[in-house]
Amino acid sequence: MPLIAAVLLASCGSDDSSDEPKPATYSAYQTKVYEYTPAPGQFINDGYSLSTAEDAAAYALGQLKMKSYVSLGAWGGYIVVGFDHSITNTGGYEIGIQGNAFAGSNEPGIVWVMRDDNGNGLPDDTWYQLRGSETGKEGTIENYSVTYYRPSSSGQPVRWTDNQGHEGEIAYLGAYHSQPYYYPNWITADSYTLNGTRLEARNYQVEGSQIWMNPAYDWGYADNIGSDDLTGTIPSAGTGQITGFKISNAMLPDGTPANLPSIDFVKIQTGVLAQSGQIGELSTEILSVIDLSLL
C-alpha cells in the first residue's frame, strides 16, 4: 500500500464509536497557543520584542499560522497548543508535528499530550509523555530539571544549573545572533526552572573540520527524522519536515499505557541539553501541529 494511503487509513479509522464525526469546519491545525516558554537560546528575542506571557503566546500562534518556525530554545523550553476539537485515538498516526530537521541536523523535541478531563477548555489536567525510542534507555533522565539565570549584562552567556549537580552555559553567539539577551524578555524573574525528560546528546564535531552533526533518534520525537517521518506523504500540509505521533504511545509515569481515547492539548519540549560549537545550542523548532485525520 502506498505510504500516504496507509497514513490516511490509520489516521481516519476510529475504534471509539462515542466520538462524534468532525465537521468540515474544524481546523486540521492548532488554533490556540496556551503557553510559549522557551529556554534561553540564540533565536529567542531575535527580531521580536515581547513583554508578557500573553504576548509570547500570541507571537507563537502567529508564527505557527504562517508555518514559520517557533524556537523552543535549549533543553526544557516548551510550547502548549490546542485545537478546536478533540483528536481521537485511532491506534495510528493521529498527530503530525512540523519541524525543520534535515539530514545531520536533528534537534529532538519530546511530546506530551493532555485530555480535557475537567471540560474547562484549559490545559490544566494531566500531561502524558509519548513514548519514544529512548524511553527507558540508559542515558535518558526522567524527572530532570534545569534552572536558567538572567545574565548580568547584555551580550553574555546564560548560566544554568541542573538537579544532577551540574552547571554550564548557553553560549552567546554575537557574530550570528546579536540581540542583547538570549534569556526570554517576557520572563521577569531573574531565574526560572524547567522540568521534563532529558535525552542523551548525540551531537559531535566531524574530525578535522568545523562541521557539527546532530544525528537522528530512531522514533518518537519532533524536529527529528526517524522511522516515523511523514515528510512528503501529506502534500496539503505544505513545507516542513513532519513527524507522526500516536496517542496510543501516551504513558503513565511508570511507563505503562495511559489508554487515552482522545486528547485536546499537545506540548512539545526540547529534549537535549547540548551545544554544537559555532552552531550553538540544540533547540527544537516547530512550524505547526496537525490533526492528520483532517488532511
Whole-number Å distance between alpha carbons of 181 and 48: 12
Q: In whole angstroms, how far apart are CA 70 and each of 188, 223, 241, 290?
A: 21, 11, 14, 15
Q: What is the pLDDT of residue 292?
A: 95
Cβ distance 127 to 267 under 8 Å?
yes
| pLDDT < 70: residue spans in the chain | 1-24, 236-238
266 - beta bridge partners?
A: 81, 113
Task: Specify the pLDDT at position 232.
Answer: 87
pTM for this structure? 0.91
In degrees and rounded to multiples of 5, residue 142 shows phi and psi of -85, 160
- Taking alpha carbons only, the member of 282, 280, 136, 140 closest to residue 200 is 140
260: Cα separation from own chain's centroid:
20
> Each residue of 152-187: pLDDT tens digit?
999 999 999 999 999 999 999 999 999 999 999 999
**What pLDDT does residue 23 have?**
55
Instruction: Tell me the torsion sign for CA atoms 73, 78, 84, 87.
Output: positive
Distance CA 165, CA 52 (A): 31
Q: Which three cell numbers stand for residue 274?
A: 547540548
Burial state string for 221-251 with b = 16 or more CB within 10 A and e = fewer than 16 = bbbbbbebbbbebbeebeebbbbbbbbbbbb
CB 171, CB 280: distance < 8 Å = yes
Classify residue 253 by burial, with Cβ atoms within 10 Å: 0-12, 13-18, 19+: exposed
- Give the whole-angstrom CA distance, residue 54 versus residue 270: 21
